[in-house]
A and B are shown apart, each in its own frame.
Chain A
Amino acid sequence: MIRGNIWLVLQREYMTRVKRRSFILVTLLTPLAFLMFFIVAGLIFTYQSDEKTRILVKDEPGLLEDGNNQLRRFELYFTDDEKAGFMALLQEGDYEAGLWLPALDTSYGGPYKYEFYSDQPLDIESSSLLSRTLRSRLRAERIATLKIEEDILEQLEIETRLDQRPITESSRNLNEMTGVVAAALGGIMGYIMFFVILLFGVQVMRSVTEEKSNRIVEVIISSVRPFDLMLGKILGSSAVSLTQILIWLILIPASALIVQLMIPMDMSEAEALTQTAQIPEGFENLPLVIEQLGEINWWFIVPLFLFYFVAGFLIYSSLFAAIGAALGDDINEGQSLTIPVVVPIVLAVYIMFQAVREPNSSLAIWSSIFPFFSSIVMPSRLAFEPDSWQIGLSMLVTAGTAVLMIWLAGRIYRVGILMYGKKASFRELAKWIFSRS
């Protein structure tokens, strides 16, 4: 049960923050920004230039002559001229580029070498399109020349598929996407933690400094214990952050849905895709991913994620609160004091990237136990179902550290908030921790 005044402080912190225009804007605009990002990114990726490059082609083997629609971005002009005439035509400047395709070497040894003339380097899209087209033409040409039957060729197309199986019966179904799904989920959770801790931790610091520089703090602490005030603020902020994330969790899918309704996808196209099982490139593994998402033990991950969310938030925001209390009237003075707090957060994110790739490396294991990294690294490993001793030890250490940090921050806070003027040094902070109130 939260004591009366902590609850009041929490309420005030929550209500004033939630009612603020900036909160409403950020909460509503972030999903929009995400959507805009996806739409713009989609447009950029599907963008095709309308401008066609005029290319002079000498096609000795006749690879491109049958009016090729894959090469729509080029306007091809064929010539029979020899090299000298070909170069002369190019130099006249009517064409932007020249493509010289020499006769085929019937011994089929080594690569097929062709020449491309241009004063401008060929862009990636064009060069890969060109070599893709030529490769497929050459392949067809060779199949015909060598009189190979298509079904024999198909048999030579060897694919591999990893079938992951558990040793114990009760374990979840695994497939080749297990690791990828777990890593992606871990990365997302780790990132959310990082984002929340940094953004809202700094907000706690600001809110503390604001009370100090407003000079209201002395009025407040004649009614509320400094520790209760600090705790109320931290809990209020964590409630604000949870609210924001919850709203995003609802808004982002909802707005995606709305966009889909407003810009309807051609459903027949989608149906055709599923019927012919022609899943677009890059999405071949989608069914496996969905299967794996269903296999994930959400009852295990979600409560633990919430635990690390709260514990990590408490550890870092109490530190930020202590810094806020140690600052003078100018929050911009705080840079040097925040560095020791921000560095472990950033380090934890780097470790997280490593941890999702190798979740059972000793770096990953020990970082998910070390309390200043655990709240970011452990959530990123949860989908890999780490050993229970690791989770147990990590939770114990993290919870213990959270309590210790709140206590420590409370010690600094109670002295700091009554000190006006300049910011405190680390030496002074250490003194405050052990001083009597």
Chain B
Amino acid sequence: MSVLQLSRVRKEFEGHVAVDDVSFEVPKGIIFGLLGPNGAGKTTLIRMITGITQTDRGEIRMNGSIINGVLNRDIGYLPEERGLYRKMTVADQLVYLARLKGLSRKEAVSRLKMWLKKFGMMEWSTNKIDELSKGMQQKIQFIATVVHDPALLILDEPFTGLDPVNTNLIKEEIRKLRERGRSIIFSTHRMEQVEEICEQIVLVHQGRNILSGRVDDIKENNKLNHYVVRFYSEPRDVHSRSFDILEMNGSQWLIKLHEGADTNVVLGEFLAQGARIRHFEEKLPTLNEIFIQTVA
């Protein structure tokens, strides 16, 4: 079952089409990547999902009901351009943001305590944001996004500016939220991060959906029959009708199997030439490679 469905969504700004006929679904309980280079239309898409801006055409549904242009309290949004009230204390700020999402004061206070404890920041709750380090501020921003326990989290470039320790901390929390059945849309232009944590993606380019589906399936469908072979000792003769050698890097080769070629046949050829094989693995393309290949 999907928590979010976009069908044929379009948005135009003064003659410039920012999002054009985009459709995709976000299943419940997964980490979903919204990918694309800068200016691809990701932020516009997110703003339409969160109800900040309206669609010109198309439909956005959450749990089955249309939410075009409606602010939804069941969404937690961490924008790319994010900040906090500098002169407000951590606790006041989090309570305010949680109450805007419909929590009672009491509820907000107990939730923020839980989160501050989790991030080891309890003693900072009466400090002003100004007095916090950048990393701490980013943790507060994350708490503000999840404090009302939304069904759908939208994180726009959440790791920008985070140090490795905090990046891992937030990644861990994202995974935990998913385990608890929350869905997460993770928007970024950094493909390598997506491969690490996303199960499904949609790839937008110039406002259009150019690729979507499960990460494994996408890789499978876009594979180039590339294989990495490492040898203890290399074969005597390297001419084969089953594959081409793309790279020879000492005892590590990158080969491309011909259409219809069988890996067993290739291995047999190597063995017949006296090779001792240490490693043989299919090399699936990275999302970045797929993106470049698709766009080109």
Contact = CB atoms under 8 A, between A and B. Distances in A.
Interface of A: 5, 8-9, 12, 16, 20, 211, 214-216, 218-225, 418, 420, 431, 435-437
A437 B96 contact: no
Contacts of B84: 214, 216
A434 to B, nearest CB: 11
**Residue among B14, B53, B83, B97 facing the most chain A CB atoms (10 A cut-off):** B83
Interface string B69-91: 10101010111011111111000
B82 A219 contact: yes
9 contacts: A16-B87, A214-B83, A219-B79, A219-B144, A222-B77, A223-B100, A225-B71, A418-B47, A437-B54
Contact of A221 (B14, B52, B86, B96): B52
Contact of B71 (A20, A218, A223, A418): A223
B52 A215 contact: no
Contacts, number: 65
Query: How many B residues are at the interface, by size bracket?
Result: 20 to 34
B99 interface: yes
A210 to B, nearest CB: 8
Contacts of A9: 100
B111 interface: no
B5 interface: no
Q: Is the interface of A mostly helix, strand, loop or mixed?
A: loop
B170 to A, nearest CB: 16
B83 A224 contact: no
Contacts of A221: 52
A75 B87 CA distance: 65
B100 A5 contact: yes
Contact of B54 (A12, A223, A224, A436): A436
B203 to A, nearest CB: 24
Interface in B244-275: none
Given A223-B100, A435-B14, A218 B54 contact: no
A219 B77 contact: yes
Contacts of B52: 218, 221-222, 418
A219 B56 contact: no
B100 A218 contact: no
A436 B56 contact: yes
Contact of B75 (A215, A220, A222, A418): A222
Nearest to A5: B100
Nearest to B145: A219
A221 B77 CA distance: 10
A12 B92 CA distance: 9
Nearest to B55: A436
B97 A219 contact: yes
Interface in B8-53: 14, 47, 50-53
Contact of B53 (A211, A214, A437): A437
Given A224-B100, A418-B52, A436-B54, A215 B82 contact: yes
A169 B55 CA distance: 67
B139 interface: no
A65 B51 CA distance: 95
Given A216-B85, A420-B81, 11 more contacts: A8-B99, A214-B83, A216-B84, A219-B79, A219-B97, A219-B144, A221-B52, A223-B73, A225-B71, A431-B14, A436-B54
B101 interface: yes
A218 B88 contact: no
B23 to A, nearest CB: 21
